[in-house]
Amino acid sequence: MRYWSVVVPGLPAQAMALYPFMLFKNSKLKLDNRLIRHEQIHFKQQLELLIVFFYILYLLNYLINLVRFRKHDKAYFQICFEKEAYQNDHDLEYMKNRKLFSWIKLI
């Protein structure tokens, strides 16, 4: 999947997918294949939801989780989109075999 990579030194995460841009905290991270696969999974999720609905659902899922767990880290890792990405970013074939809306089963 094609994307534009941008280094953003103050980024609060190692990387972030904002279709069609992949933001990295530093240039070394642009070589991390697992991190790139993680962000590419987010690209697929964003495209499935016409980008804007991804961000709405992402924020809504995070806020619900924050109320449930009262901790940022726990709320973040329980976001259905993050669950899919973390569970599959090690799999070199995942993007080829991924079914549409795979994140739904992780809600």
First-residue to last-residue Cα distance in the chain = 26
pLDDT of residue 1 exceeding 90: no
Rounded to two decimals, the pTM is 0.96
Q: Which amino acid, one-letter code, is at 26?
A: N
Q: How far is CA 9 from the centre of its chain?
A: 19
What is the domain range of residue 34? 4-106
pLDDT, the chain, mean: 98
According to the model, what pLDDT value does residue 107 have? 95
d(CA 3, CA 15): 13
Number of domains in the chain: 1
Q: Can you read off the two tokens belonging to residue 28?
A: 């070394």
What's the CA angle centered on 93, arms 44 and 106, to 5 degrees?
50
Encoded tokens for 39: 């962000």
- Quickly state the pLDDT bin for 10 (edges 50, 70, 90): very high
